[in-house]
Chain A
Amino acid sequence: MNEDTGMTATADRSDVADDPLQIGDKTFDTRLIVGTGKYPDNDTMVGAIRASGAAMVTVAVRRVDLDRTKEEAILHHLDPEEFFLLANTAGCYTADDALRYARLARAAGFNEWIKLEVIGDERTLLPDTAATVEAAGILAGEGFKVMAYTNDDLVTALRLEDAGCVAVMPLASPIGSGLGVVNPYYIREIKRRLEVPVIVDAGVGTASDACVTMEQGVDGVLMNTAIAAADDPVAMGAAMRHAVIAGRMAYLAGRMPSREIAVPSSPTTGMLD
């Protein structure tokens, strides 16, 4: 009995605590991974990432702009001791280009992790899945920890796992579209069939999308534009943190069956005459 309220304490809730996210040999206390692109300014970016609680952040590899070298290098603003850097191969349209960018990223000297992205179509930014599988195998063979962006296609996801990826990252919907999860069944089936972590990457538009994504049972979600392009990115970062936790807990809790008929919550017996 609780002496203050007189109510019996409910069960110990510590069993509700989630396991940490394990990818390769790394463990993260958050299931949200965020990008660093498209923010209005660097202070907003850092504030939004901190509000999101993300521990792993993606960065891109680009030529130094020799006319304005100071402000654009992201590591002048983002402490690599505070965040785990995941370099991407964004913008690459061939396996060879992706290999080149991945090797340059590793030479930066932070880690051997790469978010592999080989684009096959400019309008939708959908992946070239054959080239992605090819590049994934080569990079894994070179010791990279490959997290591969891919379509919501089960067979490609299985091939990427076979190729040695430490995580497979099917899209919710096209990059930057904000359309949310267009095919929850395929996402669930990929999660059911793979042993490596499944991180949904791209397409989340707002907190409810992140929540629905996590309710599919996936291991995590990666997003950039949904936070960076919000009117208030810092507030949206916080919203995403809560949404990812809520969706994960709802998945672990196991939702009630949905039915297209009402079922009363209160007793139907004991009514007055």
Chain B
Amino acid sequence: MDTRDSTDRIAVQLNGKPRHVEAGLTVKELVESLGLNPALVVVELNREILSRSRYGAVGVQDGDTIELVHFVGGG
């Protein structure tokens, strides 16, 4: 019996928190689904920086650790 739920979701670690996201998304689609502009976000996937040109080509996999960072005010 398939233990995954009917919408086919995968478990990732996103910005330090466990999260279930739709299976089959690219990184670009994931970023956009969170309401973020991919041009202003840097993605670290399993401790490797993902170049922005690859956001649309790389798929999010079950068990991925993803960090989404951006610039904030600082000194």
Which A residues have a C-beta under 8 Å from some C-beta of B?
35-39, 45, 58-64, 66, 69-70, 72-76, 85, 87-88, 90, 103-105, 107-109, 175, 202, 222-225
- Give, as a whole number of angstroms, the nearest-CB distance from B61 to chain A: 19
Counted as pairs of residues, one from A and one from B, with CB atoms less than 8 Å apart, the total is 97
Residues of B within 8 A of A76 (CB): 40
Residues of B within 8 A of A175 (CB): 75
Closest A residue to B43 using CB positions: A107
Interface residues of B in 51-71 (CB under 8 A from A): 51-52, 67-71
A58 touches B40 (CB 8 A): no
Q: Bound complex: CA of A60 vs CA of B72, how far in Å?
A: 5
A64 touches B69 (CB 8 A): yes
Q: Bound complex: CA of A138 vs CA of B12, how far in Å?
A: 32
Q: Bound complex: CA of A191 vs CA of B51, how far in Å?
A: 39
Besides A63-B16, A70-B35, 9 more A-B contacts (Cβ < 8 Å) are A37-B75, A60-B72, A61-B72, A66-B34, A74-B71, A104-B49, A108-B70, A108-B71, A202-B75
B: contact size bracket: 20 to 34
For the complex of A and B, 5 pairs with smallest distance between CB atoms: A60-B74, A35-B75, A224-B75, A36-B73, A59-B71
A74 touches B75 (CB 8 A): no
**From B39, B52, B72, B74, contact of A107 by CB (8 A):** B52
Residues of A within 8 A of B35 (CB): 69-70
Residues of B within 8 A of A109 (CB): 39, 52
Which B residues have a C-beta under 8 Å from some C-beta of A?
14-16, 34-36, 39-42, 44, 49, 51-52, 67-75
Interchain residue pairs with CB less than 8 A apart (28): A35-B73, A37-B73, A37-B75, A38-B75, A59-B73, A59-B74, A60-B71, A60-B73, A61-B42, A61-B69, A64-B36, A64-B70, A66-B68, A73-B40, A73-B72, A74-B71, A75-B40, A75-B70, A85-B71, A104-B42, A105-B42, A107-B51, A108-B40, A108-B42, A108-B70, A108-B71, A175-B75, A222-B75
B75 touches A63 (CB 8 A): no
A69 touches B75 (CB 8 A): no
Residues of A within 8 A of B75 (CB): 35-38, 58, 60, 88, 90, 175, 202, 222-225
Residues of B within 8 A of A62 (CB): 69-70, 72, 74
Closest B residue to A65 using CB positions: B15
Residues of B within 8 A of A85 (CB): 71
Q: Bound complex: CA of A17 vs CA of B14, how far in Å?
A: 53
A74 touches B73 (CB 8 A): yes
Residues of B within 8 A of A72 (CB): 72
Q: Bound complex: CA of A39 vs CA of B70, how far in Å?
A: 18
